[in-house]
Structure 1
Amino acid sequence: MLAFIRYSVPPARTEEFLAGAHEIADTLAGQPGHLRGRVARSVDEPELWAVVSEWEGAGFYRRALGAARMAMYPLMTLMINESSAFEDVDRP
């Protein structure tokens, strides 16, 4: 299962965002079911960022969000409100 938490970050807040995003990624990495994760930036829209993570399943990800809530709180105003969990789909 993949998770994408996207953010719209004004240039003046990039440094603040990066510190917070890495804290979120580190907190998620310490949770059960976490496989890998990273902080990424759009090559086409430099104000668009994402905390991307891969999980053993959606339940692990949803429980991990509770653990990361305090780390996520300072960046909530930058978060894009959209679905963040995506399942792998096998080919037909």
Structure 2
Amino acid sequence: MLVAMRFAVPEAEADGFAERAGVALGTLAARPGYVRGELGRAYDDPTVWCLLTVWESVGSYRRALGAYEVKLHATPLLAQALDEPSAFEPLATATPGGSVVVVDSDRADSPLRSRP
């Protein structure tokens, strides 16, 4: 599962935001089911930031959000994310030089779901 959260951060608050985002990322990284994560800042607009995390499953992400440490150290920052969809189902992957691998959707209503 991919979680991509975008943030609008005034330049004057960038240092404090980066510090709090690092704490949030480290807290999430300590949870079971966490695969990897990154904090990024837009090249074209330094007020736009993105926190990207990858999880083994939707369940592992939801359980992580319920953990006390996450509620204390990550949720206040996550609550500042822009109000837009942030959880995504991975449907295709590719490694450097590798082939694109397409997987079935878990959604019953998906046009990508395999048919018998």
Shorter chain as normaliser: what TM range? 0.7 to 0.9
Shift of 1:72: 2.9
- After TM superposition, give the deviation of residue 74 of structure 1 in Å: 4.2
Measured on the aligned residues, the alpha-carbon RMSD in Å equals: 1.8
> 3-state DSSP class of the match of 1:61?
helix
Q: Provide the secondary structure at the position in 2 that maps to 1:7.
A: strand
Higher relative contact order (CA 8 A, sep 6+): 1
Q: Which 4+ stretches in 1 moved above 6 angstroms?
A: none
Q: Contact (CA 8 Å) 2:34, 2:54: kept in 1 or not?
A: yes
Alpha-carbon displacement from aligned partner over 1:4-47 (angstroms, at most 9, x marks no partner): 12110001100110110001100110001001111111112211
SS at match of 2:19: helix
Tell me which structure has the larger Cα radius of gyration.
2
Structure 1 unaligned segments of length 5 or more: list them: none
Task: Describe how 1:7-86 pairs up with structure 2 within 5 A.
Answer: 7-67=7-67, 68-75=70-77, 78-86=80-88
Give the Cα separation in 1 of the matches to 2:20 and 2:6. Answer: 13
Deviates more, 1:47-56 or 1:65-74: 65-74
Displacement, 1:75? 3.2
- Residue in 2 that maps onto 1:88: 90
Identity of aligned residues (%): 39
Q: TM-score, normalised by structure 1?
A: 0.87
Deviation of 1:82 (Å): 1.7
